[in-house]
Amino acid sequence: MRNQKDGLIYVRIPPGTYIMGCSPGDRDCFDWEMAPHRVSIEIGFWIGQTEVTQRAYLSVTGANPSRYKGSDRPADQVSWFNARSYCEAVGMRLPSEAEWEYAARAGTAGSRYDALESIAWYDANSNDQTHEVHRKKSNAFGLYDMLGNMWEWVQDAYGENGEKRVLRGGSFYNLPRDLRVSNRLWALPETAHRNMGVRCASN
């Protein structure tokens, strides 16, 4: 589906059940990926085929905060507040953590949906900058850059006080250990770092 408000493609993700958190046999897991637990996605949803591009972000908001300029590169330096506002402006929302990981796994049980070099821009191959979306191999759902390029904001708060928000996926300057479908990052919602972007979803 092409969203007429931002021109981006959104992919329909079917309902299903999976094990969220540290993948079986993954010895790189951090404490915050524990404990693995079964999650059911009872209602299918739409999610961006790619991260929101600078072209789309500029067309919707009239601004481009990105450090690494390029129309087909992902929008970067996007705060959680601005990510939420963008998604709402195009009739979408931020994905939940459970939706994001389910979409990233695309039916696989491992820590990555394919060999890292083939699917992600990260520390070893990015030259310390973002790259155009849609250039690496997609996962089985047809989604690109679910690992690498940009950390992506999700709806969920981190911790009991709810002050911080969660990001997923790792970025262009992270090491391989960080680029696994179960890994998590968190930051204050006003944070707008050069490796923080957005991918929208909807029911």
Contact 56, 50 (CB under 8 A): no
pLDDT in single tens digits along all 203 residues of the chain: 999 999 999 999 999 999 999 999 999 999 999 999 999 999 999 999 999 999 999 999 999 999 999 999 999 999 999 999 999 999 999 999 999 999 999 999 999 999 999 999 999 999 999 999 999 999 999 999 999 999 999 999 998 888 999 999 999 999 999 999 999 999 999 999 999 999 999 99
Contact 177, 192 (CB under 8 A): no
Contact 36, 98 (CB under 8 A): no
What span, in angstroms and rounded, lies between the C-alpha atoms of 103 and 110? 13
What span, in angstroms and rounded, lies between the C-alpha atoms of 157 and 77? 19
Q: Which pLDDT score is estimated for 154? A: 98
Instruction: Of 78, 33, 24, 80, give the one whose Cα is nearest residue 56.
Output: 78
Q: Which pLDDT score is estimated for 78? A: 98
List domains and CATH numbers for the chain. Answer: 10-202 (3.90.1580.10)
Q: Which pLDDT score is estimated for 151? A: 98
Q: Which pLDDT score is estimated for 87? A: 98
Instruction: Of 170, 166, 171, give the one whose Cα is nearest residue 153.
Output: 166
Asked if residue 115 has a cis previous peptide bond (ω within 30° of 0), the answer is no
